[in-house]
Amino acid sequence: MLGAARRQLGSGPMLGQVLRRLRPAAAAAEVARGYSAAAKEMNVRDALNSALDEEMSADPSVFLMGEEVGEYQGAYKISKGLLDKYGPDRVLDTPITEAGFTGIGVGAAYHGLRPIIEFMTFNFSMQAIDHIINSAAKSNYMSAGQISVPIVFRGPNGAAAGVGAQHSQCYAAWYAHVPGLKVLTPYSSEDARGLLKAAIRDPDPVIFLENELLYGESFPVSAEVLDSSFCLPIGKAKIEREGKDVTITTYSKMVGYALQAAEILSKEGISAEVINLRSIRPLDRAAINASVRKTNRLVTVEEGFPQHGIGAEICMSVVEESFEYLDAPVERIAGADVPMPYAANLERMAVPQVDDIVRAAKRACYRAVPMAAAA
How far is Cα of residue 298 from the mean position of the Cα atoms in its chain? 21
Quote the CA–CA distance of 196 and 190 in Å, as a whole number: 10
Sort residue 284 into left (φ over 0), alpha (ψ -120 to 50) or beta.
Answer: beta
Catalytic residue among 54, 55, 68, 98: 98
* Catalytic option among 55, 68, 118, 167: 167
Contact 100, 93 (CB under 8 A): no
Residue 98 is a catalytic residue:
yes
CA distances from 233 to 191, 194, 238, 279 (A): 10, 8, 11, 9
- The 8-class DSSP code of residue 252 comes to T
Radius of gyration over every alpha carbon of the chain, rounded to an integer in angstroms: 21
SS3 253: coil
**Where does 220-353 have alpha helices with state H?**
223-226, 254-266, 285-295, 310-322, 344-350
300 φ, ψ to 5°? -105, 140
User: Residue ranges of the alpha helices (H) in 63-188?
Assistant: 82-86, 98-110, 129-130, 139-142, 172-176
Among 302, 340, 16, 24, which residue's Cα sits nearest to residue 163?
A: 340
Q: Is 131 a catalytic residue?
A: no
Are 171 and 157 contacting, i.e. CB atoms less than 8 angstroms apart?
yes
Q: Which of 309, 303, 313, 254 is nearest to 278 (CA)?
A: 254
Strand partners, 62: 114
Dmax (CA) of the chain:
70
CA distances from 55 to 21, 152, 200, 259 (A): 29, 12, 7, 31
Do β-strands 182-184 and 279-281 pair in parallel, antiparallel, or remain unpaired?
Answer: antiparallel
CA distance 293 to 109: 42
* Active site residues per annotation: 98, 167
